[in-house]
Amino acid sequence: MIAFFMRHPTLANLMMMTFFVLGLTCMSTLKRETFPDFSPPYIIASVIYPGASPAEVEGSLCLRMEDAVDGLSNIEEIKCDAQEGIASLTLKLNDDADLGRTLIDVQTEINAINDFPVQIEAPTVKELDWAEPVVDLAISAQASLPHLKAYAEDVKRRLKIEADVSLVNVSGFSSHQLRVALNLVDLRRLGLTVNDIATKISRQNIKMPVGNIELTEKNLLIRFDQQQVNAHGLSQTIVASTAEGGVVRLGDISQIKDLFELEEERIVFNGEPRCYIKNTKK
């Protein structure tokens, strides 16, 4: 073949130009993407074993799970990680594997194990969440952490609705809490205890469906929504009544602080609180 083209260089040049023109023609139809879509060929099965040491997790969970899935097809690698209180089995699939079918098969085999310790929680089997970071948006302001969290959640909502960004997460905050500091003198005067106040808050601070109304053309769902998510709303909870017919609200006998569970779990930049809005893509 090489000798033929050496004797006919014109034909070789024509073929080269033909491939070049075809390449230019097809370039506009090629799919190009900075973060291309792909299906992660991994499945992870997790089992929680409260209070167990890594050695106990390996002997009681990992070995049994590895034996259960050992006979499944299209699996390249099986690895089980034994940590304190949890076992994580990771399966790497080959290119011929049907991810959905294999997921069901693994779930079936794990659930069929009948000699797990009775203290374990129900096993979970899922695709390995393979999310690629796209962009991180940092927000800092001279504001309290609750106000910064509320603004970040509003930005997250607008990104999802207006910019059609599906995977958005806010980081930089621990669990949100409303802390109630009761005045013991007022409690004694009203004849109440701390447990009484906790019961009254839990009974009034609820959100639940209560039924539906069936009409000719549509159904109306009815919900009772009295869940308070800020300090002002919680302070309006009625905890007692007076002989004159008045009411005593939670804010009258306590101080309510809007804060987070772990004050040390926060981000500070130049003396100002900061948070991140992380955009990812699967």
pLDDT tens for the chain, 282 residues long, are 677 767 777 887 888 888 888 888 887 777 766 656 555 688 999 999 988 888 899 999 999 999 999 888 888 899 999 998 899 999 998 888 888 888 899 999 999 998 898 889 989 998 876 666 778 888 888 888 888 888 888 998 888 888 877 788 888 887 778 889 999 998 898 888 999 999 988 888 887 777 888 888 888 888 878 787 788 888 888 888 877 888 889 999 999 888 877 766 778 888 888 888 888 776
Closest CA to 88 of 149, 135, 47, 139: 47
Give residue 36's pLDDT: 60
| Torsion angle, alpha carbons of 249, 250, 254, 257, to 10 | -130
Spell out where 200-271 has E strands.
207-214, 219-225, 238-241, 247-249, 254-260, 267-269
Residue 237 phi, psi dihedral angles, 5° rounding: -65, 130
- Tell me what pLDDT residue 79 has: 92
For residues 258 and 23, give the distance between their C-alpha atoms in angstroms, rounded to a whole number: 62
Burial class (CB in 10 A: 0-12, 13-18, 19+), 89: buried
pTM listed for this prediction: 0.51
Q: What is the pLDDT of residue 81?
A: 92
Tell me which residue of 235, 239, 266, 230 sits closest to 251, measured CA to CA. Answer: 235
Is the domain covering 176-260 a CATH 3.30.2090.10 domain?
A: yes
Confidence at residue 66, expressed as pLDDT on a 0 to 100 scale: 92
The one-letter amino acid at 282: K
Amino acid at 134: V
- Whole-number pLDDT of residue 64: 92
Q: What local confidence, expressed as pLDDT, does residue 87 receive?
A: 93
3-state SS record for 264-281: CCCEEECCEEEEEEEEEE
- Asked if the 42-127 domain carries CATH number 3.30.70.1430, the reply is yes
Spell out the residues 6+ positions from residue 104 whose beta carbon is closer than 8 angstroms to its own.
Answer: none
